[in-house]
Structure formats: structure tokens, C-alpha cells
Amino acid sequence: MDIKNPDARFSFEFFPPRTEAGMEKLMIVHQELAALQPDFFSVTYGAGGSTKDGTRQAVTNISQAGSAVAPHLSFGGSSKEEILTLLESYRAMGVNRLVALRGDIPSGTGVASQYYYANELIEFIRAETGDHFHIEVACYPEIHPQSDSYDKDIYYFKKKVDAGANSAITQYFYNPDAYFYFVDNCEKAGIEIPIVPGIMPITNFNNLQRFSNNCGAEIPRWIRQRLQSYGDDTASIRAFGADVVLNLCEDLLAGGAPGLHFYSMNQTEPVRQIWQQLDLR
Ligand code: FAD
């Protein structure tokens, strides 16, 4: 397809596996997706630092396998010294991109006192490591669930940009108008960094519903109704989901989106199918 933005970039997100077998499987998925030549992979970071070692291990493995990789990072329950050590270890292995987040800290973990907003983490990274890292941040076309208002959320997004963020990846959404309206409003607020849509393939209705309830992403009624009507028919859910997400990607790229970031859920096929139909490389 024709891409309106010639500098469009593409990336795939993983979460860190909890077991050795999971890590081996992840590295197979990585190899399969690396063949599609994305610009980089990213690896999520668990709430409260719970997956710190898993994230670092996955980042190390992906980096050693020859791919550019962006670790996600949040203060969570860690001290500034611990975060600095982690940053230095990433720098030593050649990592030059990060996804900086506040993160979601589960209640009852006792780490509320170290609950830093993402803009504070970015200020810290810039103060300690200068311009070494390209810093990605999260943003929310349908607005962060804890935000007081649409304008406030954009105001705090701008704080992250002013603190030194270079580009942003959105929460997933299925309504392209929400994205384009958000981008317009960000531009009006003086936000000039690329805002890359986050794309969630649709493979399982119950999981999607659960994620969406937690993160505030809307599943449009027509999509919900259709998915519900398939019941346990996984093949039909996947086929319909692939169609919906392919159309979404096409609309976004034709409308000038500066790339796509796929939430792979550590699976090859849903992303590869969309990618091949988009015919991007
Ligand atoms: P922030 O930008 O800090 O914003 C959080 C909320 O506080 C918003 O409502 C904002 O409007 C408000 N706010 C921001 N700054 C201030 C301020 N200075 N004062 C008052 N209010 C403020 N979660 C994980 O745990 N691990 C991950 O690896 C991970 N990866 C993600 C990747 C992407 C691309 C996205 C979109 C989300 C990801 N998340 C991840 C989820 C994310 O951590 C949550 O959405 C979290 O609740 C907010 O993180 P943030 O960095 O956007 O927070």
C-alpha cells in the first residue's frame, strides 16, 4: 500500500516471559518477526519492577540476536540508584532507545511513595544520561482512565515532551477518528513529536474485553457485537479481527500516521498476517 508518511517506522512489542521455556519460545517468535525487518522491538516492564530481571534478560537476548530493542522502564518500587544501574547496563549493551512510563502499580504493594509520573522519569534519564537515549512515551487517544479531562491528559502529555520525549506510542484503539482528533489536539497544544498508533491484533474476545476495561480502550459496539456472535468459533474471531485491524492500519497510514507499533502478545501469526497484507517492506 502507499504510505503517506515516507519516514513511517514499525515496531513490535513483547512482554518478558516468566520461564526459561517461555524465553525460548519468545526467541523463536523474535526470529520470525525479525524477518519482517521492523525498526525495533520493545519489551514491557512489570508493574512495581516485578519483571525487571525478565525484561533485562529478554532485552539482552534480543540485542545479542542482532535486533534494535527498546526496554520499557518505570520507577516502580526501585530507587534512583537501581534505575541508574539498569540504564548503564542498557547503555553498555548498545541500547539507545527506551519507553519511559509511570507504569501501573498494583494496590497493596506498598510502593506508593515511589510512584513517579513519566515526566519525572524522563527528567531523571535526561539528567543522568543526556541525549544518549531516544525516549518514547505512552499517550492515549481515548484518554488515560485516571485522567480528569481530555485537556488535562494532553497537558500532561506535553509535560513529557517538554521533559525530553522524542516520540510517542499510543494505547490501542479501533476508531481511527479518535486518533486523528487526538493528533490534531496535540498539535494545537504545541506537541510536535511523532505519535505512533499502537495496534492490538484481535484474537480472543474475552482477553480483549478484559484488557480494554483495564486500560480504557473502547471496543466499538459493532466490533463487540460481531465478536460476541462468534462465540467459541476462534477461526471466525481471528478472521474478522484481522480484517478490522488491517482496515484500521490502512486508514492510519493513508491518513499520515508516522508508523505502527504492534502489541504482538508474543505471537507471530496475528502480526505477520496483518503485516503481509499491508505489504510494507
Ligand atoms: P503518565 O504519563 O505519568 O500519566 C499517568 C496519569 O497521570 C495520566 O492520567 C496523566 O494525565 C496523569 N499525569 C501525568 N503526569 C502528571 C503530573 N505530573 N501530575 C499529575 N497528573 C499527571 N505499563 C506497565 O506497567 N509496563 C509497561 O511496560 C507498559 N508499557 C506501555 C506501553 C505503551 C505504549 C502504553 C500506551 C502503555 C503502557 N503501559 C505499561 C501502561 C501504562 O503504564 C499505564 O497506562 C499507566 O497508568 C500510565 O503510564 P504513563 O507513562 O502514560 O503515565
Query: Where would I find the H helices in the chain?
Result: 20-34, 52-64, 80-92, 118-129, 150-163, 176-188, 205-215, 221-229, 234-254, 269-278
Q: What is the pLDDT of residue 108?
A: 53
199 near 262, Cβ under 8 Å? Answer: yes
Does residue 104's CB lie within 6 angstroms of at least one atom of ligand 1? yes
Residue 22 lies in a domain: yes
17-67 per-position pLDDT tens digit:
999 999 999 999 999 999 999 999 999 998 665 677 899 999 999 999 999
Residue 144 lies in a domain: yes
Atom of ligand 1 nearest to the CA of 172: 36
Q: Distance, CA 234 to ligand 1 centroid (Å)?
A: 32
Sign of CA dihedral 131, 134, 135, 137: positive
Residue nearest to atom 14 of ligand 1 (CA): 156
Residue 3 lies in a domain: no
Residue 195: count of CB within 10 angstroms of its CB: 22
Query: Which residue segment(s) compose the domain that 80 sits in?
Result: 9-278
- Give, as one character, the DSSP assignment of residue 135: E
C-alpha cell of residue 274: 496483518
198-209 per-position pLDDT tens digit:
999 999 999 999
Does residue 70's CB lie within 6 angstroms of at least one atom of ligand 1? no
Residue 1 lies in a domain: no
98-143 per-position pLDDT tens digit:
999 998 765 555 554 456 999 999 999 999 999 999 999 999 999 9
Segment 188-192 mean pLDDT: 98
Does residue 11's CB lie within 6 angstroms of at least one atom of ligand 1? no
13 in catalytic set = yes
233-279 per-position pLDDT tens digit:
999 999 999 999 999 999 999 999 999 999 999 999 999 999 999 98
> How far is residue 183 CA from its own chain's centroid?
17
CATH number of the domain within which 177 lies: 3.20.20.220
Does residue 101's CB lie within 6 angstroms of at least one atom of ligand 1? yes
161 near 135, Cβ under 8 Å? Answer: no
Residue nearest to atom 18 of ligand 1 (CA): 117
Residue 134 lies in a domain: yes
Residue 4 lies in a domain: no
Ligand 1 pocket test, pick from 40, 56, 99, 144 with the greatest ligand atom count within 8 Å of Cβ, gives 144
What are the Cα distances from residue 129, in Å, to 83, 117, 125, 188? 12, 19, 6, 30
Does residue 50's CB lie within 6 angstroms of at least one atom of ligand 1? no
Q: Distance, CA 102 to ligand 1 centroid (Å)?
A: 5
Residue 195 lies in a domain: yes
Single out the catalytic residue among 13, 123, 136, 142: 13
212 near 185, Cβ under 8 Å? Answer: no
207-228 per-position pLDDT tens digit:
999 999 999 999 999 999 999 9
Among the ranges given (108-122, 155-169, 181-195), the one the predictor scored with the smallest mean pLDDT: 108-122
Residue 220 lies in a domain: yes
Q: How many domains does the chain have?
A: 1
